[in-house]
Structure 1
């Protein structure tokens, strides 16, 4: 492997990762970062192999990357009967009639949250709307009080920072662990109450799950609740902001979606491919392996670069073009385990909240697109994204005219 001064941890990469994707795939498809002793894969075929070969590449890295703030093992660390039992309990609340009920709640929450901004004709779609909505609707699924969303969001920021930081200082590590401890302190009394008086919510269901004839401990339930919070909140608010960014910057495609709302799922699927909110997925190499001619030692941490893989010309035609009509994506399968893009992972540990994420983003976008007429960036606004592990708009300040026709049609 050729030596290179380039670093994925550099400010230049962090400012615009997509500028470096083709260079990485062509010149350094297995890129080594010595400061964190990790390997970064950028080609689609290599990333797909790592994500689907669960024996050669395990989720052992999550013991140090996630478990300290999750307060216990999460679904991605589990296999076999344990994984099946616990995943089934979670998935039941994100599919079928439960999901249809949640869609109604999502629509009601979104309408309530956007209402104060309609007369102003301006809002920050990310910070005024997307982030609070994502936390509030997830709290409702769990059976938690959505009025606690600000506190929970603050704690969750620490959890997410710990998991998604490629390099974390000792001070930030302490901060994140303190936030995780505060979230656990909030959840445990609620878990104990649901054990005594179960309801129809996800926390009550998790409290009743048995594995090897033993119910989960408070710590196990806390870990899965935190797992759901991170999985449901992080991708949703980022994807919504990214979707609007791309449609605003491609006004012809926005006009098509306005005329034909049936194109909205394709626009969301293309947003996920073009700018996935989760850019890196870590794995642990169980044995020495050779990828793209480069030996990776046993025990190494391997980061799958989802953004780079989704822009690989071997997987997608004209991959650096945002196109809601592309024929090689397959909208119908883009939210399933058969998805061509890798934005939800792949294989056994595909994101558990895929169906919920699709329903949430589709529901909210279907409400907002006809409602926000003549939507555009606010004067002076400069678009900026942050993050290399998860990535999305730092803000999205929009000006618009509230459509009187759409207002009248709202339930």
Structure 2
């Protein structure tokens, strides 16, 4: 087990290769880790991360003005407070609940069946690149009411937006590329917004275009930012979580067998996947005043990163935290996709992920469809598993062999 030392950096290639190796020692020896290169503090203990995410006066989302707003083309939900946040969040949530959610689940099932069809006959699929990534974008475009034929172009633009938000350092060239992607995505969305204002449908963009806040319709800038906000929130966690779910069940065949026998355990397997390997590893905040953690003062104005992967494996919060266990009693499956979740994979408090319930329904629908179809599922011969990402993290690929069940 490596030891955290003065030369340690969360920005190093070594940490990026496998951050989970370092989490225990960060919590024990450097629970407040400072990175001078980016003038930021990293908190790895569950209690500290939860404190930051729930104390909205002491720790604000102002850092998103620099980290997200330039590519979101306007303020995102996490930057809003008070009546504005409540009203606009409610509009977005309405697009992911009730009858809208039931309609989306049918569309998700059809999307998944269509995408998986060609691979069933082959008995092999890359669950990330062949299936998960295109599915996540298809599903989000359906919710928004955008043309699914444009999915590859939208995915390319979104990739640039995500790179801007999740990169700790960007070269001028990469920054320009990300901004170009955001500008082209905005140019693509503006005619759609104009059309939906005059001819609204049942899609989420129409709901945003026809909604009012304080008696005033939202501007094109407001609507564009919320669309890109939804695009990022709906696609980033979904494809990663689905692949990680299958990886953990393959690595724990006894739990895979239990989920196959009892489909009611699937929700617990998804919740434990989110705790064990959260797709969003870092959540930033800005300290509004001097704050002390583990005897270390974080100065007002400093950027603070909550290390979700480390917090979710804190033994102060979870028993045997480095074990994947769908039966763990300290997780609480029923609340794991709500603001009362014990794990921090969706954040917590006022700015908990707006799409948490949708993510559960999407992953559960797709996994429930795939598990009976993919018998004796296993890694393909010669496949080597690898994850990437510091801010968001997931498998580069997941090549699986299986015996198809028709």
Using the size of structure 1 for normalisation, the TM-score is: 0.97
Which secondary structure does the structure 2 equivalent of 1:304 belong to?
strand
Q: 2:233 aligns with which of 231, 234, 243?
A: 231
Match of 2:68 in 1: 66
Answer yes or no: is the 8 Å Cα contact 1:41–1:304 preserved in 2: yes
Match of 2:200 in 1: 198
Which secondary structure does the structure 2 equivalent of 1:302 belong to?
strand
Is 1:371 the counterpart of 2:373? The answer is yes
* Partner Cα distance (1:355, 1:197) in 2: 29
* Partner Cα distance (2:103, 2:218) in 1: 27
Deviating above 2 A after TM superposition, structure 1's stretches of 4 or more consecutive aligned residues are none
Match of 1:135 in 2: 137
The structural deviation recorded for 1:3 is 7.1
The structural deviation recorded for 1:6 is 0.3
The structural deviation recorded for 1:214 is 1.7
Q: Which runs of 5+ in 1 are unaligned?
A: none
Is 1:361 the counterpart of 2:363? The answer is yes
The structural deviation recorded for 1:109 is 0.5
The structural deviation recorded for 1:217 is 1.1
Match of 1:259 in 2: 261
* Partner Cα distance (2:378, 2:5) in 1: 44
Measured against aligned partners, the alpha-carbon deviations of 1:257-284 in whole angstroms (never above 9, x if no partner) come to 1111111000000000000000000000
* Partner Cα distance (1:282, 1:299) in 2: 12
Answer yes or no: is the 8 Å Cα contact 1:155–1:183 preserved in 2: yes
The structural deviation recorded for 1:313 is 0.2
Answer yes or no: is the 8 Å Cα contact 1:136–1:149 preserved in 2: yes
Is 1:321 the counterpart of 2:326? The answer is no
More divergent stretch after superposition (156-165 vs 206-215): 206-215
Which secondary structure does the structure 2 equivalent of 1:94 belong to?
coil
* Partner Cα distance (2:27, 2:321) in 1: 13
* Partner Cα distance (1:276, 1:3) in 2: 25
Match of 1:52 in 2: 54
* Partner Cα distance (1:348, 1:20) in 2: 30
Which secondary structure does the structure 1 equivalent of 2:342 belong to?
coil
The structural deviation recorded for 1:359 is 0.4
Using the size of structure 2 for normalisation, the TM-score is: 0.98
The structural deviation recorded for 1:106 is 0.5
The structural deviation recorded for 1:212 is 2.5
Which secondary structure does the structure 2 equivalent of 1:398 belong to?
strand
Which secondary structure does the structure 1 equivalent of 2:392 belong to?
coil
Answer yes or no: is the 8 Å Cα contact 1:333–1:339 preserved in 2: yes
Match of 2:244 in 1: 242
Match of 1:165 in 2: 167
The structural deviation recorded for 1:321 is 0.3
The structural deviation recorded for 1:174 is 0.5
The structural deviation recorded for 1:167 is 1.3
